[in-house]
Structure formats: structure tokens, C-alpha cells
């Protein structure tokens, strides 16, 4: 049994046609064929700025750049740092933990306090939801939420004092995972 990575590949059902060398020097021809059949083979990587990993890293950096420390959140809400930690434990505030420190995304705060209804909305997010997904969800206009005839984000909806239950219902639907 030799190394099949450089073996010629013949497309299924193309008997008698010329063999095509694999596009990858890392994958076996069988692996490449399986990926192609699933529509998952990438002949060429996109440029770094368009790769999912780069976009995710950029969004995480942007989220952290505007996030509050526990002490800053306490000052914003007029409470103690201990109270903020208690709320983090109860999931009525959300944070990202980096090097044993909590960073609270800014979208859950207003200029003078907390987003209206946030204590009801925050616990609806699954603990497994990535912070960037939560931020995107909260800051993106949704057709199910409208003010003056135009779609608004959950942040805008809550800032207008609207029903947090609508946002909770949307979270339940959007972040529901099906095991099958």
C-alpha cells in the first residue's frame, strides 16, 4: 500500500476519461472526493481578511475593546463590584472571561445604566452561545421587532422600553439546538 495522496483521481462514473490529479497535496484522493461530494472542498483559501477565523477574531477584539470591567460596570449601574459578580453568577448580566477577568459587553448598558429588561433577556441566552453571536443577535435589526414601521435590533427595542418577552421568545427560537 503506497501513499495515495499523489494518486490520480478519476471522477465517479467517468470511466475511460482522463485521470485528474488531486488538487491537494495533503489529502488523499478519496478524502478530496468525499469533501467535493459534500460541497465542502475549497480549492483555494480566501484572503486572510475574508476568512471566518479572521472575522471572528476581529469581532471578538471589537467586543472586548468596548467592554466594561466589573468595576466599570458597577460604577455605571451605581452598585458594588460584588453585586455585579452576583449578577454575573445569576446570568442577569453577561460577560466574557479573559485571563480570569470578566469583561461585560457594552451593548447591555445605556449611558446612565442598564438596558431596559436586560435582567430578563440575558438568562435566555444559552451558556454555550459565543459572545460574538450574542452581540450580533442583539445589535442586528430583526423583522419581528419594529418601531415606526421599520425593523430594529433587540437593543433598540429594549431601549425604547418595549416588551423584553418578545426578545426572549426570539432568543429561544434563534438559539434552540436540536439533537438528532
Q: Are 12 and 36 in contact (CB under 8 A)?
A: no
pLDDT at 1: 44
Q: Best-predicted range by mean pLDDT among 10-14, 30-34, 47-51, 82-86?
A: 82-86
CA 24 to chain centre: 30
Flag whether 27 is in a domain: no
C-alpha distances out from residue 147 to 62, 76, 151, 152, 155, Å: 28, 27, 7, 7, 12
Tally of domains within the chain: 1
Residue 40: C-alpha distances to residues 22, 37, 81 (Å): 15, 8, 47
| Confidence at residue 177, expressed as pLDDT on a 0 to 100 scale | 60
What confidence score (pLDDT) does residue 10 get?
42
Q: Any idea what DSSP says for residue 117?
A: T
Percent over 70 (pLDDT), the chain: 82
Cell numbers linked to 2:
503506497
Average pLDDT of the chain is: 84
Q: What is the 3-state secondary structure (H, E, C) of 12-76?
A: CCCCCCCCECCCCCCCCHHHHHHHHHCCCCCCCCCCHHHCHHHHHHHHHHHHHHCCECHHHHHHH
Name the residue range of residue 129's domain: 49-174
- Which pLDDT value is given to residue 19? 55
For the ranges 30-39, 89-98, 144-153, the lowest mean pLDDT is seen at 30-39
Higher pLDDT residue, 138 or 20?
A: 138
Q: Is residue 115 part of a domain?
A: yes
Q: Is the pLDDT of residue 23 over 70?
A: no
Residue 64 placed within a domain: yes
In a domain, 129, yes or no: yes
Task: Please check whether residue 13 lies inside any domain of the structure.
Answer: no
* pLDDT tens string 41-79: 777 777 777 767 777 778 888 999 999 999 999 999 999
In a domain, 167, yes or no: yes
pLDDT of residue 7: 41
pLDDT tens track for 161-179: 999 999 999 999 998 764 4
In a domain, 170, yes or no: yes
Amino acid at each position: 500500500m503506497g501513499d495515495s495522496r499523489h494518486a490520480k483521481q478519476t471522477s465517479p462514473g467517468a470511466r475511460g476519461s482522463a485521470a485528474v490529479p488531486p488538487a491537494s497535496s495533503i489529502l488523499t484522493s478519496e478524502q478530496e472526493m468525499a469533501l467535493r461530494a459534500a460541497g465542502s472542498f475549497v480549492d483555494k483559501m480566501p484572503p486572510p481578511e475574508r476568512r471566518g477565523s479572521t472575522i471572528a477574531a476581529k469581532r471578538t477584539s471589537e467586543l472586548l475593546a468596548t467592554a466594561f470591567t466589573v468595576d466599570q460596570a458597577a460604577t455605571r449601574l451605581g452598585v458594588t463590584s460584588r453585586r455585579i459578580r452576583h449578577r454575573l453568577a445569576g446570568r442577569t448580566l453577561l460577560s466574557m472571561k479573559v485571563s480570569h477577568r470578566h469583561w461585560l459587553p457594552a451593548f447591555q448598558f445605556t449611558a446612565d445604566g442598564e438596558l431596559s429588561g436586560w435582567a430578563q433577556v440575558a438568562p435566555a441566552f444559552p451558556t454555550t452561545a459565543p459572545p460574538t453571536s450574542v452581540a450580533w443577535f442583539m445589535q442586528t435589526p430583526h423583522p419581528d421587532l419594529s418601531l415606526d414601521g421599520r425593523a430594529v435590533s433587540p437593543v433598540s427595542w429594549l431601549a425604547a422600553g418595549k416588551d423584553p418577552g418578545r426578545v426572549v421568545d426570539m432568543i429561544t427560537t434563534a438559539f434552540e439546538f436540536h439533537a438528532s
